Amino acid sequence: MSAEPFLGPAEIARSIRRLAHEIVENNRGTDGLVLVGVLTRGYPLAQRLAAAIREFEGVSVPVGRLDIGLYRDDVTQRSASLRPSAIPVDIDGKTVVLVDEVIFTGRTTRAALDALVDFGRPAKVRLAVLVDRGHRELPIRPDFVGKNIPTGLEQSVRVRLLEVDGEDAVYLHDEEVARA
């Protein structure tokens, strides 16, 4: 990645801290809270949110991971390899915060909601994203947003995370880049 990132490591860290505070405030504490990261990059984000919450609340919130490959409606995305989902606690009656790196059309979130109900019936489901780039195709909106980035449809947003990509950065490209 040679281009200048739109967001760097310090801004990403700040966003995550703020999101963590908002999530706890909205939930009036950490009771019944479960963070579920959408694979691939939502999962390390969820882990970082949990680490931030642990820092200022002293409580370890359970973190799960969700592979949505089996629930996608765009069949061409399907042959990407699947990974096992794992949610360490029973989510019945809990407040589940779905965590994803970018929200765009909302279709990933729709698939994640479908996947989630196969694990149980949460009392509430919330959505936290690092970046909202607009252009929803479904009636879905995030509850917690790290950064709103207005984009054109022809543009693409790539979030890269240390755990997955070896760096913390958000890039904005002027043309569509094939997503990993």
Partner 1 sequence: MLEVKEEQVAQAADGDFQAPVRWRSKDLLDTDTLTPAEIELIMETAEAMHEVRTRPVGKVATLRGATVTTLFYEQSTRTRASFEVAAKALGADVVNLTAMGSSVEKGESLIDTVRTLEAIGADVIVMRHAASGAPYLAARHTGASVINGGDGTHAHPTQALLDLFTIRRHIGSNLEGRRVVIVGDVLHSRVARSNVWTLMAAGAEVVLCGPATLLPRTLAARGERGSCTVTHDLNEAIRDADVVMALRIQKERQEKGLIPSMREYIRGYQVNASRLAQARPGALVMHPGPMNEGIEVSAEIAHGVASVIEEQVTNGVAVRMAVLYLLAAGRAA
Q: Which residues bind partner 1 (CB under 8 A)?
A: 39-40, 65, 67, 69-71, 75-76, 78-86, 118-119, 163-165, 180
Give the integer Cα–Cα distance in Å for 123 and 154: 38
Handedness of CA 39, 42, 45, 50 (dihedral sign): negative
Q: How far is the CB of 78 from partner 1 (least distance, A)?
A: 4
Nearest of 38, 28, 92, 80 to residue 63 by alpha carbon: 38
Give whichever of 10 and 75 is closer to partner 1, judged by the CB atom. Answer: 75
Q: How far is the CB of 164 from partner 1 (least distance, A)?
A: 5
Contact 88, 63 (CB under 8 A): yes
Give whichever of 84 and 150 is closer to partner 1, judged by the CB atom. Answer: 84
Q: How far is the CB of 127 from partner 1 (least distance, A)?
A: 22
Give whichever of 2 and 79 is closer to partner 1, judged by the CB atom. Answer: 79
Give the integer Cα–Cα distance in Å for 75 and 141: 23
Give whichever of 110 and 149 is closer to partner 1, judged by the CB atom. Answer: 110
Contact 69, 78 (CB under 8 A): yes
Q: How far is the CB of 28 from partner 1 (least distance, A)?
A: 30
Give the integer Cα–Cα distance in Å for 26 and 143: 10
